[in-house]
Amino acid sequence: MGRVVTVGSRGSALALEQTRQVVVRLKKLFPELNFRVEKIQTTGDNILDVALAKIGDKGLFTKEIEKALLDGQIDIAVHSMKDLPTKLPEGLAIGAILEREDPGDVLISRHGKKLEEFEAGARIGTSSLRRTAQINAFRSDLEIVSVRGNVQTRLRKLEEGKVDAIVLAWAGVSRLGLAGRVTQRLSFAVCLPAVGQGALGVEVREDDTDMMEKLKRIDHADTRAAVLAERALLKCLEGGCQIPIGALARVWDGDLVLEGLVASLDGKKIARAIDAAALDMPEELGQRLAEKLLSMGAREILQELREGGRAGV
């Protein structure tokens, strides 16, 4: 009998589907392995009545899972890369980053209206400061309403009429088979994604060399480079607090191109820039673009956010 691999996952339908996709990939490559999924409740799953930005904790959706990994209760953990803090606990590593789904955001509205078609005062639901800032920049006359919970919970609040539309990540909607519900895919010009959005990562103990080697087989080099560049940008700018930062790295003509922004919550102040580097220099690219953004006004925006207590620092 082959090794039994215990996989840690959050318990939501989306998290379990993402974990299933990783397990299917590994099982195909290593049929001798047997997999068991362990559902782990995280702080972020338990606190549903407070906006994430007000909690300000790092690792809201990963801390308990990482503890189980370090304690040996699980062998690997599957995360959405956008949930994973830029600094991992000592002894843990990202063993694989799978090929990325489209990283963009989508709008799902009750009556089929697109973002530019809503009347003034329409209520748009999101718990993300990044989305709030960028939607405010695009349509300052809309009302942004904080909506927490998993995808199904947010859709239910939409159906109950508590909001006129919600904004979600395309990747999550797609993985749950809900692509048909999408009203509009937001362009990156309107809404730059969260760092790591659309990418799945597999975390593992560094001393588990057998599993580290196996995970290399499902690692996607271009996606890893892109996500590492975005994470380096995030780390350089804020170190993990909840603030309005968007980033997207893509491979273009053999180079890595990174676009990033920092915005005030009202969308009136935005520092946005783009840079490129060789594929094997993702961290350097992220740091360089972060420094460029800081020199373009991001430093003042971040300072105002922190002084206002909105960054959860």
Catalytic position from the list 83, 105, 164, 275: 83
> Which residues, at least 6 apart from 299, have a Cβ–Cβ distance to it below 8 Å?
none
Q: Do 105-185 and 220-313 fold alike per CATH?
A: no
Distance CA 48, CA 278 (A): 41
Beta strands per DSSP E along 104-254: 105-109, 123-125, 143-145, 165-169, 184-185, 200-205, 245-252
Written as one string, the DSSP assignment of 42-83 is -HHHH--SS-HHHH--TTTTTHHHHHHHHTTS-SEEEEEGGG
Residue ranges of domains in the chain: 1-99+199-219, 105-185, 220-313
Q: Is 129 helix (H, G, I), strand (E, B) or coil?
A: helix
The count of other CB atoms within 10 Å of the CB of residue 8 is 25
For the record, the structure tokens of 101 come out as 């789904």
**Nearest 5°: CA angle at 53, between 17 and 237?**
95
Distance CA 220, CA 199 (A): 10
pLDDT tens by residue, the chain, 313 residues: 678 999 999 999 999 999 999 999 999 999 999 999 999 988 766 665 555 555 555 577 789 999 999 999 999 999 999 989 999 999 999 999 999 999 999 999 999 999 999 999 999 999 899 999 999 999 999 999 999 888 999 999 999 999 999 999 999 999 999 999 999 999 999 999 999 999 999 999 999 999 999 999 999 999 999 999 999 999 999 744 568 999 999 999 999 999 999 999 999 999 999 999 999 999 999 999 999 999 999 999 999 888 875 443 3
In the residue annotation, 45 being an active-site residue is answered as no
Distance CA 290, CA 296 (A): 10
CATH code of the region 1-99+199-219: 3.40.190.10
Contacts of 65-74 with C-beta under 8 Å, sequence gap 24+, read: 65/8, 65/9, 65/10, 65/40, 65/203, 66/92, 66/203, 68/8, 68/38, 68/40, 69/8, 69/203, 69/204, 69/205, 70/205, 73/6, 73/8, 73/38, 74/6, 74/7, 74/8, 74/38, 74/40
pLDDT of residue 312: 38
In tens, the pLDDT along 277-293 reads 999 999 999 999 999 99
For residue 76, what are the β-bridge partners?
7, 204
pLDDT of residue 56: 55
**Assigned CATH topology for domain 105-185:** D-Maltodextrin-Binding Protein; domain 2 (3.40.190)
Q: What is the pTM of this model?
A: 0.92
220-313 carries CATH number 3.40.50.300: no
